[in-house]
Chain A
Amino acid sequence: MDSTAKTFALGTKLMPYLAILEHDLRALWTSRLVRLWLAATAVMTLLLAAANWAKFQDATLIASLLFPYLVFPWFFVVVVLGVSPVSGARAEVLADGILSRPVSRCEYLLAAWSARVLLVLGVYLVVTVPAVAIVTLAKRPVPEDAVTLFGIVSSLGVVALVLTFLVSLGFLAGTLLRKPLLAAVVLVFVWYPIGIVLNAFSLEEFSPISLSRAMSTQLRQPWRAADAEARGKANAQDMEALARQMDHFLSVFSNGQPSPAAKPDFFEGGRFTDFSLLRVILGYGLPTLMAVALAMVFFHRRDL
Chain B
Amino acid sequence: MSAYLKIDHIDKSFERGGVATHVLADITLTIDKGEFVSIIGHSGCGKSTLLNLVAGLTPVTAGAILLEGREVNEPGPERAVVFQNHSLLPWLSVYENVNLAVSKVFAGRKSRAERHTWVMHNLDLVQMAHAGDKRPAEISGGMKQRVGIARALAMEPKILLLDEPFGALDALTRAHLQDAVMDIHARLGNTMIMITHDVDEAVLLSDRIVMMTNGPAAHIGEVLDVPIPRPRDRIALASDRSYLRCRQAVLKFLYERHRFVEAAE
A, B in one complex = no
> B residues within 8 Å of A by Cβ?
none
> A residues within 8 Å of B by Cβ?
none
